[in-house]
Protein backbone atom coordinates (compact mmCIF):
# COMPACT_ATOMS: atom_id res chain seq x y z
CA UNK A 1 0.00 0.00 0.00
CA UNK A 2 2.29 2.67 -1.19
CA UNK A 3 -0.33 5.19 -2.23
CA UNK A 4 -3.12 4.70 0.27
CA UNK A 5 -5.28 7.44 1.67
CA UNK A 6 -2.75 8.04 4.42
CA UNK A 7 -3.10 8.31 8.16
CA UNK A 8 -5.72 10.56 9.64
CA UNK A 9 -4.48 13.76 11.15
CA UNK A 10 -7.76 15.48 11.78
CA UNK A 11 -10.35 15.87 14.43
CA UNK A 12 -11.86 12.43 14.44
CA UNK A 13 -11.08 10.23 17.39
CA UNK A 14 -10.69 6.46 17.53
CA UNK A 15 -12.54 4.49 14.88
CA UNK A 16 -15.96 3.24 15.81
CA UNK A 17 -16.79 -0.44 15.60
CA UNK A 18 -17.54 -1.22 11.97
CA UNK A 19 -15.93 1.93 10.65
CA UNK A 20 -13.30 0.60 8.32
CA UNK A 21 -12.90 -2.62 10.26
CA UNK A 22 -12.85 -5.88 8.34
CA UNK A 23 -15.80 -8.17 8.60
CA UNK A 24 -19.02 -9.09 6.92
CA UNK A 25 -20.77 -6.93 4.33
CA UNK A 26 -22.81 -3.86 5.18
CA UNK A 27 -26.59 -3.84 5.15
CA UNK A 28 -28.27 -2.21 2.17
CA UNK A 29 -31.08 0.33 2.14
CA UNK A 30 -34.62 -0.21 0.80
CA UNK A 31 -35.51 -0.82 -2.85
CA UNK A 32 -36.36 -3.65 -5.24
CA UNK A 33 -32.84 -3.64 -6.71
CA UNK A 34 -31.40 -4.10 -3.24
CA UNK A 35 -33.99 -6.73 -2.29
CA UNK A 36 -32.71 -8.75 -5.26
CA UNK A 37 -29.09 -8.22 -4.22
CA UNK A 38 -29.96 -9.36 -0.68
CA UNK A 39 -31.41 -12.55 -2.17
CA UNK A 40 -28.29 -13.20 -4.25
CA UNK A 41 -26.05 -12.71 -1.26
CA UNK A 42 -28.21 -14.82 1.02
CA UNK A 43 -28.13 -17.70 -1.43
CA UNK A 44 -24.51 -17.72 -2.38
CA UNK A 45 -22.29 -15.89 0.05
CA UNK A 46 -19.83 -18.33 1.65
CA UNK A 47 -18.06 -17.68 4.88
CA UNK A 48 -14.82 -15.79 4.35
CA UNK A 49 -11.83 -15.66 6.62
CA UNK A 50 -12.27 -12.75 9.00
CA UNK A 51 -10.29 -9.72 7.96
CA UNK A 52 -9.58 -10.89 4.42
CA UNK A 53 -12.19 -8.91 2.51
CA UNK A 54 -14.56 -5.98 2.89
CA UNK A 55 -17.79 -6.42 1.01
CA UNK A 56 -20.22 -6.93 -0.42
CA UNK A 57 -22.46 -4.13 0.75
CA UNK A 58 -20.09 -1.18 0.40
CA UNK A 59 -19.31 0.79 -2.75
CA UNK A 60 -16.20 -1.30 -3.34
CA UNK A 61 -14.93 -4.66 -2.24
CA UNK A 62 -11.51 -4.27 -0.64
CA UNK A 63 -8.86 -6.96 -0.31
CA UNK A 64 -7.63 -5.91 3.08
CA UNK A 65 -4.05 -7.16 2.96
CA UNK A 66 -3.23 -5.45 -0.31
CA UNK A 67 -5.59 -2.52 -0.01
CA UNK A 68 -6.91 -3.24 -3.51
CA UNK A 69 -10.41 -1.80 -4.02
CA UNK A 70 -12.65 -3.24 -6.73
CA UNK A 71 -16.06 -2.31 -8.09
CA UNK A 72 -18.04 -2.75 -11.28
CA UNK A 73 -20.74 -0.68 -12.93
CA UNK A 74 -22.73 -1.43 -16.10
CA UNK A 75 -24.14 1.11 -18.52
CA UNK A 76 -26.83 0.01 -20.99
CA UNK A 77 -28.13 2.01 -23.93
CA UNK A 78 -31.75 3.14 -23.49
CA UNK A 79 -31.55 2.37 -19.78
CA UNK A 80 -28.74 4.71 -18.71
CA UNK A 81 -28.47 6.88 -21.81
CA UNK A 82 -29.79 7.45 -25.29
CA UNK A 83 -27.35 7.93 -28.10
CA UNK A 84 -29.28 10.98 -29.33
CA UNK A 85 -28.42 12.75 -26.08
CA UNK A 86 -24.69 12.21 -25.95
CA UNK A 87 -21.66 12.12 -28.19
CA UNK A 88 -19.84 8.78 -28.35
CA UNK A 89 -16.99 9.95 -26.17
CA UNK A 90 -19.49 11.30 -23.61
CA UNK A 91 -21.08 7.82 -23.48
CA UNK A 92 -17.68 6.43 -22.54
CA UNK A 93 -16.86 9.27 -20.13
CA UNK A 94 -20.13 8.79 -18.21
CA UNK A 95 -19.73 5.02 -17.98
CA UNK A 96 -16.20 5.29 -16.63
CA UNK A 97 -16.97 8.16 -14.25
CA UNK A 98 -19.96 6.31 -12.77
CA UNK A 99 -17.72 3.36 -11.98
CA UNK A 100 -14.79 5.45 -10.74
CA UNK A 101 -17.14 7.27 -8.36
CA UNK A 102 -17.35 4.10 -6.27
CA UNK A 103 -13.62 4.40 -5.61
CA UNK A 104 -14.25 7.91 -4.31
CA UNK A 105 -16.94 6.54 -2.01
CA UNK A 106 -14.44 4.40 -0.10
CA UNK A 107 -11.52 6.84 -0.40
CA UNK A 108 -9.51 4.71 -2.83
CA UNK A 109 -6.97 6.11 -5.26
CA UNK A 110 -7.63 4.91 -8.84
CA UNK A 111 -5.18 2.49 -10.45
CA UNK A 112 -7.19 1.86 -13.61
CA UNK A 113 -10.19 0.30 -15.32
CA UNK A 114 -11.06 -2.88 -17.19
CA UNK A 115 -13.82 -2.36 -19.76
CA UNK A 116 -16.10 -4.93 -21.37
CA UNK A 117 -18.18 -3.55 -24.23
CA UNK A 118 -20.81 -4.90 -26.59
CA UNK A 119 -21.61 -3.11 -29.86
CA UNK A 120 -23.52 -3.99 -33.00
CA UNK A 121 -21.15 -4.56 -35.95
CA UNK A 122 -21.93 -1.10 -37.35
CA UNK A 123 -21.50 0.62 -33.98
CA UNK A 124 -18.24 -1.23 -33.36
CA UNK A 125 -16.76 0.51 -36.37
CA UNK A 126 -18.42 3.89 -36.04
CA UNK A 127 -18.67 4.44 -32.28
CA UNK A 128 -16.44 2.08 -30.31
CA UNK A 129 -13.18 4.02 -30.81
CA UNK A 130 -14.64 7.28 -29.55
CA UNK A 131 -16.53 5.57 -26.72
CA UNK A 132 -13.25 4.09 -25.57
CA UNK A 133 -11.52 7.46 -25.96
CA UNK A 134 -14.09 8.82 -23.51
CA UNK A 135 -13.47 5.97 -21.09
CA UNK A 136 -9.73 6.59 -21.27
CA UNK A 137 -10.07 10.36 -20.81
CA UNK A 138 -12.30 10.03 -17.74
CA UNK A 139 -9.95 7.48 -16.22
CA UNK A 140 -6.83 9.49 -16.88
CA UNK A 141 -8.53 12.60 -15.49
CA UNK A 142 -8.45 10.97 -12.05
CA UNK A 143 -4.99 9.46 -12.37
CA UNK A 144 -5.88 5.97 -13.61
CA UNK A 145 -5.06 4.04 -16.78
CA UNK A 146 -6.89 1.68 -19.11
CA UNK A 147 -5.80 -1.77 -17.91
CA UNK A 148 -7.62 -3.97 -20.43
CA UNK A 149 -11.03 -5.26 -21.38
CA UNK A 150 -13.15 -7.21 -23.81
CA UNK A 151 -15.13 -6.39 -26.95
CA UNK A 152 -18.07 -8.47 -28.13
CA UNK A 153 -21.07 -8.23 -30.45
CA UNK A 154 -24.41 -6.89 -29.33
CA UNK A 155 -27.75 -7.54 -31.08
CA UNK A 156 -28.49 -3.84 -30.73
CA UNK A 157 -27.96 -1.77 -27.62
CA UNK A 158 -24.52 -0.64 -26.55
CA UNK A 159 -23.42 -2.16 -23.25
CA UNK A 160 -20.39 -0.88 -21.34
CA UNK A 161 -19.31 -2.63 -18.16
CA UNK A 162 -16.48 -0.91 -16.30
CA UNK A 163 -14.51 -2.59 -13.53
CA UNK A 164 -12.47 -0.15 -11.49
CA UNK A 165 -9.32 -0.99 -9.56
CA UNK A 166 -7.99 1.28 -6.84
CA UNK A 167 -6.05 1.16 -3.64
CA UNK A 168 -6.71 2.35 -0.13
CA UNK A 169 -4.98 1.69 3.13
CA UNK A 170 -8.06 2.63 5.16
CA UNK A 171 -11.33 2.33 3.26
CA UNK A 172 -14.24 4.41 4.51
CA UNK A 173 -17.36 2.30 4.81
CA UNK A 174 -21.06 2.97 5.01
CA UNK A 175 -21.30 1.48 8.47
CA UNK A 176 -19.50 4.07 10.61
CA UNK A 177 -22.16 6.74 11.15
CA UNK A 178 -23.18 7.31 14.78
CA UNK A 179 -25.87 9.39 16.52
CA UNK A 180 -24.64 12.93 16.99
CA UNK A 181 -22.60 12.98 13.79
CA UNK A 182 -23.15 15.62 11.14
CA UNK A 183 -24.14 14.72 7.56
CA UNK A 184 -22.31 16.57 4.80
CA UNK A 185 -22.56 16.69 0.99
CA UNK A 186 -20.01 17.92 -1.56
CA UNK A 187 -21.01 20.12 -4.49
CA UNK A 188 -24.64 20.57 -5.48
CA UNK A 189 -27.39 18.15 -6.40
CA UNK A 190 -29.98 17.86 -9.14
CA UNK A 191 -28.05 19.26 -12.10
CA UNK A 192 -27.72 15.97 -13.93
CA UNK A 193 -31.39 15.20 -13.33
CA UNK A 194 -32.38 18.63 -14.63
CA UNK A 195 -30.61 17.85 -17.90
CA UNK A 196 -32.20 14.41 -18.07
CA UNK A 197 -35.61 15.94 -17.43
CA UNK A 198 -35.13 18.43 -20.27
CA UNK A 199 -33.79 15.82 -22.69
CA UNK A 200 -36.66 13.45 -21.87
CA UNK A 201 -39.13 16.18 -22.79
CA UNK A 202 -37.33 16.94 -26.04
CA UNK A 203 -35.98 20.24 -24.70
CA UNK A 204 -32.41 21.50 -24.77
CA UNK A 205 -30.88 21.51 -21.26
CA UNK A 206 -28.87 24.47 -20.04
CA UNK A 207 -25.14 24.13 -20.76
CA UNK A 208 -24.42 23.83 -17.03
CA UNK A 209 -26.98 21.06 -16.55
CA UNK A 210 -25.86 19.23 -19.65
CA UNK A 211 -22.26 19.29 -18.44
CA UNK A 212 -23.30 17.68 -15.16
CA UNK A 213 -25.16 14.95 -17.07
CA UNK A 214 -22.67 14.32 -19.87
CA UNK A 215 -19.34 14.76 -18.08
CA UNK A 216 -19.70 14.03 -14.38
CA UNK A 217 -16.48 14.23 -12.36
CA UNK A 218 -16.00 11.54 -9.74
CA UNK A 219 -14.96 13.21 -6.48
CA UNK A 220 -11.69 11.34 -6.08
CA UNK A 221 -9.57 14.34 -5.01
CA UNK A 222 -12.22 15.46 -2.57
CA UNK A 223 -12.56 11.99 -1.09
CA UNK A 224 -8.83 11.57 -0.55
CA UNK A 225 -8.64 15.06 1.00
CA UNK A 226 -11.45 14.24 3.40
CA UNK A 227 -9.97 10.86 4.27
CA UNK A 228 -6.66 12.50 5.10
CA UNK A 229 -7.82 15.54 7.03
CA UNK A 230 -11.25 14.77 8.47
CA UNK A 231 -11.59 11.00 8.37
CA UNK A 232 -15.37 10.68 7.83
CA UNK A 233 -17.00 7.93 9.84
CA UNK A 234 -19.03 6.85 6.81
CA UNK A 235 -19.22 7.83 3.17
CA UNK A 236 -21.10 6.98 -0.05
CA UNK A 237 -21.23 8.43 -3.53
CA UNK A 238 -24.57 9.86 -4.64
CA UNK A 239 -25.45 7.81 -7.69
CA UNK A 240 -29.13 7.11 -7.02
CA UNK A 241 -30.11 10.31 -5.18
CA UNK A 242 -29.25 11.65 -1.71
CA UNK A 243 -32.39 10.18 -0.12
CA UNK A 244 -31.68 6.68 -1.39
CA UNK A 245 -27.95 6.72 -0.82
CA UNK A 246 -28.27 8.20 2.69
CA UNK A 247 -30.60 5.26 3.27
CA UNK A 248 -27.71 2.88 2.65
CA UNK A 249 -25.64 4.61 5.33
CA UNK A 250 -28.65 4.47 7.67
CA UNK A 251 -29.11 0.74 7.07
CA UNK A 252 -25.41 -0.12 7.28
CA UNK A 253 -24.81 1.97 10.40
CA UNK A 254 -28.09 1.21 12.18
CA UNK A 255 -28.98 4.90 12.52
CA UNK A 256 -31.48 7.50 11.30
CA UNK A 257 -30.25 10.06 8.76
CA UNK A 258 -32.11 13.35 9.30
CA UNK A 259 -31.81 15.78 6.39
CA UNK A 260 -32.77 19.45 6.55
CA UNK A 261 -34.59 20.55 3.40
CA UNK A 262 -33.26 24.09 3.58
CA UNK A 263 -29.68 22.83 3.77
CA UNK A 264 -29.74 20.50 0.76
CA UNK A 265 -27.50 22.16 -1.87
CA UNK A 266 -29.66 22.43 -4.97
CA UNK A 267 -27.71 22.88 -8.19
CA UNK A 268 -28.61 26.26 -9.73
CA UNK A 269 -29.23 24.38 -12.96
CA UNK A 270 -31.93 22.39 -11.17
CA UNK A 271 -33.46 25.39 -9.45
CA UNK A 272 -34.18 27.29 -12.67
CA UNK A 273 -37.88 27.10 -13.46
CA UNK A 274 -38.70 24.97 -10.45
CA UNK A 275 -40.51 26.04 -7.32
CA UNK A 276 -39.13 25.11 -3.88
CA UNK A 277 -40.55 21.61 -3.37
CA UNK A 278 -39.81 20.42 -6.89
CA UNK A 279 -36.20 21.59 -6.85
CA UNK A 280 -35.58 19.97 -3.47
CA UNK A 281 -37.27 16.76 -4.62
CA UNK A 282 -35.05 16.65 -7.69
CA UNK A 283 -31.96 17.18 -5.55
CA UNK A 284 -33.04 14.46 -3.09
CA UNK A 285 -34.38 11.78 -5.38
CA UNK A 286 -32.62 12.13 -8.72
CA UNK A 287 -29.30 10.43 -9.22
CA UNK A 288 -26.09 10.57 -11.17
CA UNK A 289 -24.67 13.68 -9.55
CA UNK A 290 -21.77 11.59 -8.21
CA UNK A 291 -21.19 13.90 -5.27
CA UNK A 292 -20.23 12.49 -1.88
CA UNK A 293 -22.40 12.14 1.22
CA UNK A 294 -20.41 11.58 4.40
CA UNK A 295 -20.72 11.77 8.17
CA UNK A 296 -18.28 13.30 10.65
CA UNK A 297 -18.23 13.87 14.37
CA UNK A 298 -19.89 17.19 15.17
CA UNK A 299 -17.60 20.16 14.61
CA UNK A 300 -14.95 18.23 12.65
CA UNK A 301 -15.40 20.36 9.54
CA UNK A 302 -15.54 23.71 11.34
CA UNK A 303 -11.92 24.70 10.80
CA UNK A 304 -11.58 23.04 7.41
CA UNK A 305 -14.61 24.23 5.46
CA UNK A 306 -12.93 27.21 3.80
CA UNK A 307 -9.77 25.27 3.06
CA UNK A 308 -11.74 22.47 1.41
CA UNK A 309 -13.62 24.88 -0.80
CA UNK A 310 -10.47 26.78 -1.77
CA UNK A 311 -8.42 23.70 -2.54
CA UNK A 312 -11.14 21.62 -4.19
CA UNK A 313 -12.99 24.44 -5.96
CA UNK A 314 -16.41 23.13 -4.97
CA UNK A 315 -18.71 23.70 -2.03
CA UNK A 316 -19.29 21.35 0.87
CA UNK A 317 -22.39 21.70 3.02
CA UNK A 318 -23.76 20.27 6.23
CA UNK A 319 -27.17 18.87 5.32
CA UNK A 320 -28.33 17.20 8.50
CA UNK A 321 -27.50 15.04 11.47
CA UNK A 322 -27.40 11.42 12.49
CA UNK A 323 -29.82 10.27 15.17
CA UNK A 324 -30.73 7.04 16.87
CA UNK A 325 -33.36 5.19 14.85
CA UNK A 326 -33.72 3.97 11.29
CA UNK A 327 -34.28 5.32 7.80
CA UNK A 328 -33.99 8.74 6.17
CA UNK A 329 -36.04 11.70 7.41
CA UNK A 330 -36.58 15.15 5.95
CA UNK A 331 -37.19 18.22 8.10
CA UNK A 332 -38.85 21.03 6.14
CA UNK A 333 -41.29 23.89 6.54
CA UNK A 334 -44.13 21.38 6.77
CA UNK A 335 -42.53 19.39 9.56
CA UNK A 336 -40.62 16.17 9.68
CA UNK A 337 -41.41 13.09 7.63
CA UNK A 338 -39.75 9.82 6.85
CA UNK A 339 -38.73 9.37 3.22
CA UNK A 340 -40.08 5.93 2.48
CA UNK A 341 -39.01 5.75 -1.12
CA UNK A 342 -35.34 6.10 -1.77
CA UNK A 343 -33.69 7.42 -4.89
CA UNK A 344 -33.66 6.06 -8.41
CA UNK A 345 -35.22 2.60 -8.62
CA UNK A 346 -33.79 0.32 -11.29
CA UNK A 347 -36.63 -2.19 -10.93
CA UNK A 348 -39.62 -0.03 -10.04
CA UNK A 349 -40.88 1.21 -6.71
CA UNK A 350 -39.59 -0.20 -3.47
CA UNK A 351 -41.78 -2.87 -1.93
Which positions touch Mg ion (CB under 5 A)?
59, 102, 105, 237, 239
Backbone phi and psi for residue 115, each to the nearest 5 degrees, phi listed first: -130, 120
What's the closest the beta carbon of residue 28 comes to Mg ion, in angstroms? Answer: 11
User: Which residue, 237 or 291, has its beta carbon nearer to Mg ion?
Assistant: 237
What's the closest the beta carbon of residue 35 comes to Mg ion, in angstroms? Answer: 18
User: Which residue, 132 or 249, has its beta carbon nearer to Mg ion?
Assistant: 249
What's the closest the beta carbon of residue 183 comes to Mg ion, in angstroms? Answer: 17
What's the closest the beta carbon of residue 102 comes to Mg ion, in angstroms? Answer: 4
User: Which residue, 123 or 245, has its beta carbon nearer to Mg ion?
Assistant: 245
What's the closest the beta carbon of residue 130 comes to Mg ion, in angstroms? Answer: 26
What's the closest the beta carbon of residue 199 comes to Mg ion, in angstroms? Answer: 23
User: Which residue, 59 or 291, has its beta carbon nearer to Mg ion?
Assistant: 59
* Dist. CA 52–CA 55, nearest whole Å: 10
User: Which residue, 60 or 135, has its beta carbon nearer to Mg ion?
Assistant: 60
Asked if 167 and 68 count as a contact pair (C-beta separation under 8 A), the reply is yes
Peptide bond between residue 284 and the one before it cis (omega within 30 degrees of 0): no
User: Which residue, 101 or 169, has its beta carbon nearer to Mg ion?
Assistant: 101
User: Which residue, 29 or 112, has its beta carbon nearer to Mg ion?
Assistant: 29
* Dist. CA 88–CA 125, nearest whole Å: 12
In the chain, count H helices and then E strands.
Answer: 11, 13
Peptide bond between residue 56 and the one before it cis (omega within 30 degrees of 0): yes
Q: How many angstroms from the chain centroid is the CA of residue 346?
A: 15
Half-sphere exposure of 345 (CA within 13 A, CB side): 14
- Region of residue 348 (left: phi > 0; alpha: psi -120 to 50; beta: else): left
Number of neighbouring beta carbons within 10 Å of residue 315: 14
What's the closest the beta carbon of residue 166 comes to Mg ion, in angstroms? Answer: 13
Cα→Cα distances 48→17, 169, 276, 316, Å = 19, 20, 48, 38
Residue nearest to Mg ion (CB): 59
Amino acid sequence: MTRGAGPPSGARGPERPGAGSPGSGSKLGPGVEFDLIRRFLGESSPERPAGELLGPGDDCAVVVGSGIALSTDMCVEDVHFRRAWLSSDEVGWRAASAALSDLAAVAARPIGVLVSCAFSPADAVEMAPSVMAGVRAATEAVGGVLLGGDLTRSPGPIVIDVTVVGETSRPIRRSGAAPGDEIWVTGALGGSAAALDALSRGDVPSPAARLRFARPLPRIRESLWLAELVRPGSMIDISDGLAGDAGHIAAASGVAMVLEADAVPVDPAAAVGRAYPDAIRLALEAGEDYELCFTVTAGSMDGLLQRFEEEMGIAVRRVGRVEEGTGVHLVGPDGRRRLERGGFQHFGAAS
